[in-house]
Each structure stands twice: as structure tokens, then as C-alpha cells.
Amino acid sequence: MPETRPPETLAAETLTAETLTPETLTPETLTPETLTYAAAVRTALDLLLSHDNRVFLAGEDIGVYGGAFGVTDGLLATYGEQRVRDTPISEDAIAGMAVGAAMTGLRPIVEMQFSDFVVNAMDPIVNQAAKLHFMYGGKVEVPMVLRAPGGGGTGAAAQHSQSLEAWFAHVPGLKVAVPATVQDACDLLLAAAADPNPVIVLEHKLLYKTEGSFIRPTQPNSVIEALGQARVTRQGDDLTIVGYSIMAARALEAAGHLAEQGIEADVIDLRSVRPIDHNTVRESVRRTGRLLVTHEAPKSAGVGAEVVAGVVESDALDYLLAPIERVCGLEAPMPYARELERAVIPQVDDVVQAAERLVKA
């Protein structure tokens, strides 16, 4: 890593300086290590803080407590209270502060304790952050990142377990990243921080403790192309399975079970739901002739419908051999009881059974 001034020096300065100068966009050849998803997010935050004085973090309990899920643990001790800011319990104030700070040249990364709480901050995010670049004729940028743990599976009930990505994906001016892997937990956050306008990064709370292979980046700008590029995580010729966030991982597991039956699936992790990489999905469908889309959010007006539309509105429609399947959350608020919660959220078996139906069709 390039030499930087000591963290205590950075923390004591006014946050106005140092434009990030790219040294290289060529990925380094590094030895993979095993890391948790949460540690990968923390690695990205540490890298951004150490390379750019304009970057600061803000959110409820992210400093002394280290965040509701421990993601920011240790960063306060390294960078100080100016760079890692505990905020009042007011999501509207947190988001509004981030919009103003971004407009005046800083690079705020704010955390919502649960993605559900972003409901209290929709005005500064949707009516301000998303629109100001357009309304000022391109003369204003709002380079802010909003991180939020989303999804169910922890028994936290209806007000702490939602998947709200489709809300934000509907808004022009916002980008929405949904990392599924340990590597993407870091890389998509770095790409979001490099974007000149607002990006929402939704991290599934069940993924924080998962482990995976990780190549540690040494430059924050080494993955700036990551937003809007889907990844094919498994190749097969019988059907295409598209997912994101935790359902990308479950789709990959389901593909393993399907392979035992001789069914080979193309598995696509979208990685971001605005923009959506329709080309990768279409290319796969042209080859397999079958499409299954899965997400944890309810089916109605979900991201899956947009993926399906991207196929139907293209020549990939002509290659379909069977009707498209969607495996999504049930149309119900998230229950507290674990067994009911599990019934509402799509599981690996649900994806397997839908794929079997699709191939037989």
C-alpha cells in the first residue's frame, strides 16, 4: 500500500483536501485469503479512509459500538471522531447531512442501522441526492454512499427484515449495489465510493458472517467498473438462473443439487439492480432457452420483473422454450416466528423445484 500520513494526522485535518489520483487500473496479482463478508466491507472502508481525506463515515453507533453488526469495529480508534462519526438517532438527519457534505466536496459513507429505517430518510435520498445533479444542469455532484443491512432470516420481524432494493432501483439518479460474495462486499463498495453520484449498497445481514476467498485490493480505484456488470458464477446449458444478494448464493447452491440430477444451469449474480446488466442475462437465455429469476423481496413490482422484461423486450424472447419462472418472497410482512419467516423467504429447495419444473416444461 502506498505511504500515507498517519491516521491521527488525517483525523485532525479539515476534510477538504486531496483529490484521489489513480495510480493504476491494472489489478495486482495477489494471494487470495479467507475473510468474512463483514471484514471485507471493513477492509474497503479502511482503504477509502486511508487514501482520501474527503472520505468520512457517519451513522448510528458506528464508532464506539462498531455498528449494529460490528462492521465498523476498530475504525474509530484508527481514524478518530472527525472521520468516524456517531450520529443522533435520526435517519433523516444522517442522510440530509450526507447530501450537503457531498455537494460541498466531501465523500460521505453513511450507514443505516437497518435498511428498513431508510424509510425515515426518503426525502433527502430520493428528492435531493438523486435529483440534484440533473436539476443543476450537471454542475453539482452528490458523491455519497449509503450502506444498509437488508433482508430477513434473523428473526427480527417485519420492521427489521425487509428487502427494499426495488424502491431505490425505481429512482433515476440512484444506483443500487447488492453484493453476494465476500469479494464483492469490498469491490462494490469501492466502486460505489468512486461514483460521482449517490449509490445505495444493500448488504444482506445473513451474509456478514459468511467466509470466502478474498483478494485484498491495494488501490481504492482498482474496481471502478464493477457497478452494472453481472457475473456468471456457474455455466450450464439447460437453464439460466438469475439472482442477487443472498439469493445469488442460494441459486449457486441449487445449481449444485440440480447438477446431481444431470441438469446444468447457468447462474448469474446481478451484483447491482440499478443498473441491471441485461446483456449478460440475454446472452445466457439465448443459449439455454429457459429463465428462472429469484429474489428475497416479494414478487410484485420486484427487480425480477425488470429482469424478465429485459428478456421479453429483446430477441432473446424468441429463444425461450418454456414460460419464465420467478421464485420470490411471499406477499406478506416478514413474520417473527422462525418457521414462518423461513416459509416467506425463498430457500434453496424452492429454487431447485422451480428449476426442475422449468426443465420438464
Query: Could you list the active site residues?
Result: 91, 160
Alpha-carbon separation of residue 211 from 123, 154, 155, 303 (angstroms): 36, 18, 22, 27
Please give the order of strands across the beta sheet that includes 272-274. Answer: 84-86, 55-59, 107-111, 145-150, 199-204, 175-177, 272-274
| Helix, strand or coil, per DSSP, at residue 212 | strand
For residue 297, which of 254, 320, 327, 253 has the smallest C-alpha distance? 327
Three-point CA angle 291, 207, 292, nearest 5°: 5
For residue 18, which of 222, 224, 220 has the smallest C-alpha distance? 220
Q: At what angle do helices 278-288 and 303-312 cross, to 10 degrees?
A: 60
Q: Cα–Cα distance between 68 and 277 in angstroms, integer? A: 32
User: Cell for 52?
Assistant: 482520501
Q: Cα–Cα distance between 217 and 185 in angstroms, integer? A: 12
Quote the distance between the C-alpha of residue 141 and its chain's center.
21
For residue 328, which of 295, 359, 289, 301 has the smallest C-alpha distance? 295
Q: Cα–Cα distance between 302 and 298 in angstroms, integer? A: 7
Name, in order, each residue with C-beta under 8 angstroms of 354's C-beta and a sequence gap of 6 or more. 292, 294, 325, 327
Burial of 277 (0-12, 13-18, 19+ CB in 10 A): buried
Q: Cα–Cα distance between 52 and 196 in angstroms, integer? A: 14
Amino acid occupying residue 246: I
